[in-house]
Amino acid sequence: MAQSKPPADTISGQLKLIAGGIGGGDDNCYGTRGFEDLRGMMPVIVRDEQEKIIAMGATENGKRPEKSDYSDVICIFSFQVSDIPRSKFYIIEIGSRGQAVFSRQKLEELNWNAVLTLAE
């Protein structure tokens, strides 16, 4: 009899860059002027509470929000990481811009949608 896999989760989210240094178009924006490392296809690494890598993914291309007064200074990189084993805490790292820590309870409250903001 085959053993069933333990339940796994999916984290969806966004890295929102708010800065004067944004280049590119509406569907392929990226960071400039100190944010050159923020581009589409950045690695997304998820670690457990022991800092062991438990899942990986990548961001989509950056997208500007719908036309508004702030469209020129915002670039949003969406991501989704699947098959994440259960853990008490999750450490999310996007590119080389540090880490954000979420408890399992907090992610459940957020419906597994993590939004990280980086601003100048």
Full-prediction pTM beyond 0.75? yes
Q: Which residue has the tokens 């991501």?
A: 79
Domains and CATH numbers, the chain: 8-119 (2.40.30)
pLDDT of res. 120: 84
Q: CA–CA separation, 41 vs 60, rounded Å?
A: 6
Q: CA–CA separation, 81 vs 10, rounded Å?
A: 6
Q: CA–CA separation, 118 vs 120, rounded Å?
A: 7
Q: CA–CA separation, 55 vs 52, rounded Å?
A: 9
Please write the tens of the pLDDT for every residue from 75-120. Answer: 999 999 999 999 999 999 999 988 999 999 999 999 999 999 999 8
